[in-house]
Structure 1
């Protein structure tokens, strides 16, 4: 018999899956539900997410590999992990399983389906991911972040909830954007998602170094770089005389976003959701190899709304970025208007909306068992 107050969340791999899971876990825990996270070693390594939630870590982070043998290994890994999760469910059966995409969703959702446990899927991106596409038709609800999401199976039942953002972000969302007028500092945040982005470390320092001195002297940059790139990025900024803070990881991205005028970033779903929640305009460089090119789709939503500008990797050069920055900083009202447009995209109650769906299903399951 399932436990009506016990919910399993399955997420992993990147912050894009873990952060919305954390936001929903916060709401469920606040309302008295017991939450278990199913994740993989990569998700478990993101130590600033779901720190107070019990977790079950799968013993592999495999996904569909290349070639016949890679696919065989992936299928065997999924089967093995599905049986492992089923073993956990025998000890205590959840009322609902919520899959947030990524590899750990599949074994958890397959285990739920095999035991007759209802499941909900959440899609963060503008294009439904492979795991969610595969499992969508059996889901009680496929919760979408965006109304016109692509590649949604026709038979799936969907509701638009938005993409949940962490509490530390949502509580700062009502603080006004500060326009960089006059000769004051222009504060830039460069961030490549939970995995970092080498292209940002290659291009941004060179672009800033090429700016005219009157502009360059105003720039203050906070840059998240991969660990192996930190020292060279620091040296590049120092050589150009640019005020900088460069780290592999920042504990409080919310506070940094709060004081930033412009963000240069990837366009993963959580990044886009947090930027829109806080109304921070962005130059977005979609990851070219992202599955189904979903980062370009995410960035396109923001650009069409007027909240930012897309620069594909192939066109993201130091010269092109320097020109874009020069144009933006010449007219602060452009950034101010983009900030307002960003806020228009935000869905600040997404975590509550998704949690309400989960709680309703759990309640009905409790009544029928």
Structure 2
């Protein structure tokens, strides 16, 4: 059965959360059979055009773009271009299929995956779609009638599909280096004192500037007491602004070694592994990492994403008991600080949240997806 997977097309794009699961699966497939050939297909202007070649895979593009829900002249022009692309993309997808002749086509999210999966299904080629968000995005909704399998992160996702018989719970792949260290080893590597809780915070790019301003108030409150060790990733644009705000509040981080503000958290695997609480958004990749590691979270979903995906992701964790959710409109540095202290200073609550988060986690998601792909190719 494995021998049949000699040529595989992955199609994805838009965000790293769509691209990284595909790369993780390709890496596992290559380990299983080094002779397997891979082709990634995405949009010409997407993030994927940089991420995929850096990972060492061949990359092709189709002309496809999003539709904007606005009647401003600029947005109307954009949508007219998107209509043209929608008419052009199917032919490009069919040409790629004829040239590469894949055994299977796997979509992992983003509008770039629509023409490839649909064309493959019409050509009788096995297809699978992985949806990393709790509720299916527009692309997944449109592909549901065509795909042989829809792979999702949680059992609760199944109710959002018109064809639940196609849905299989696989989880979302998490990079293997997240499991290389034990929690104690990760804390030692980071220099976190024994017995002292570690808070990790980061906001991603969407709406991060406003949240970083709240983190200035949060860090100023911490500086007065230093109740826990804290690593905050402010982002490239947010980093100098946050340091300036702290100086205006009379906080010199050099006097507070337990409080680290970084431009970017490059060693995220070790940092997440060591964390006792993560303060973050609710992107699909972050959700899969939190559940796989069993780390409690205080989540402020981004209100700037399509279809309010992040709040829906966060509520799954909250309903299971693994996370607390604060909406951005209700946030302040003081409210975030009090909520974080409430969790980190309550050992029983934190342990309960860890258990709940671990119960949601699927550590072997990549293997489950691989086995699902084998089944539809059988």
TM-score range, shorter chain: 0.7 to 0.9
Q: Secondary structure at the match of 1:102?
A: coil
1:303 corresponds to: 318
Aligned pair partner of 1:320 in 312, 318, 335: 335
Shift of the alpha carbon at 1:276?
1.2
- Asked whether 1:204 is paired with 2:219, we answer no
For structure 1, list consecutive stretches of 5 or more residues without a partner in the other structure: 365-369
CA deviation vs aligned residue, 1:302-356 (integer Å, no higher than 9, x gap): 1122211101111121221122123223323332332222111101111111111
Are the counterparts in 2 of residues 11 and 43 from structure 1 also a CA contact under 8 Å? no
- In 1, the alpha carbon distance for the partners of 2:51 and 2:90 equals 24
| Higher helix proportion (structure 1 or 2) | 2
- In 1, the alpha carbon distance for the partners of 2:117 and 2:28 equals 21
Q: Secondary structure at the match of 2:104?
A: strand
Q: Secondary structure at the match of 1:79?
A: helix
- Asked whether 1:37 is paired with 2:40, we answer yes
Query: Which 10-residue stretch deviates more, 218-227 or 341-350?
Result: 218-227
Are the counterparts in 2 of residues 14 and 195 from structure 1 also a CA contact under 8 Å? no
- Asked whether 1:26 is paired with 2:37, we answer no
Distance 1:77 1:283, change over 3 A: same
Are the counterparts in 2 of residues 127 and 297 from structure 1 also a CA contact under 8 Å? yes
Shift of the alpha carbon at 1:49?
9.1
- Asked whether 1:334 is paired with 2:349, we answer yes
- Asked whether 1:160 is paired with 2:169, we answer yes
Question: What is the TM-score with the length of structure 1 in the denominator?
Answer: 0.86
For structure 2, list consecutive stretches of 5 or more residues without a partner in the other structure: none
Shift of the alpha carbon at 1:137?
1.1
- In 1, the alpha carbon distance for the partners of 2:358 and 2:184 equals 11
- In 2, the alpha carbon distance for the partners of 1:141 and 1:42 equals 25
Are the counterparts in 2 of residues 193 and 271 from structure 1 also a CA contact under 8 Å? no
- Asked whether 1:75 is paired with 2:83, we answer yes
- Asked whether 1:84 is paired with 2:88, we answer no
Shift of the alpha carbon at 1:48?
8.4
Are the counterparts in 2 of residues 172 and 278 from structure 1 also a CA contact under 8 Å? no
Are the counterparts in 2 of residues 99 and 105 from structure 1 also a CA contact under 8 Å? yes
Q: CA RMSD in A?
A: 2.9
- In 1, the alpha carbon distance for the partners of 2:86 and 2:266 equals 33
Query: Which 10-residue stretch deviates more, 302-311 or 245-254?
Result: 245-254
2:133 corresponds to: 125
Aligned pair partner of 2:114 in 99, 102, 106: 106
- In 2, the alpha carbon distance for the partners of 1:293 and 1:73 equals 26
Q: Secondary structure at the match of 1:309?
A: strand
Are the counterparts in 2 of residues 267 and 296 from structure 1 also a CA contact under 8 Å? yes
- Asked whether 1:7 is paired with 2:16, we answer no
- Asked whether 1:134 is paired with 2:142, we answer yes
- In 1, the alpha carbon distance for the partners of 2:239 and 2:211 equals 12
Shift of the alpha carbon at 1:45?
5.9
Aligned residues: 357
CA deviation vs aligned residue, 1:18-60 (integer Å, no higher than 9, x gap): 2222221122111113222222333236648971322224466
Q: Secondary structure at the match of 2:168?
A: strand
Shift of the alpha carbon at 1:124?
0.8
Shift of the alpha carbon at 1:158?
1.4
Shift of the alpha carbon at 1:129?
0.9
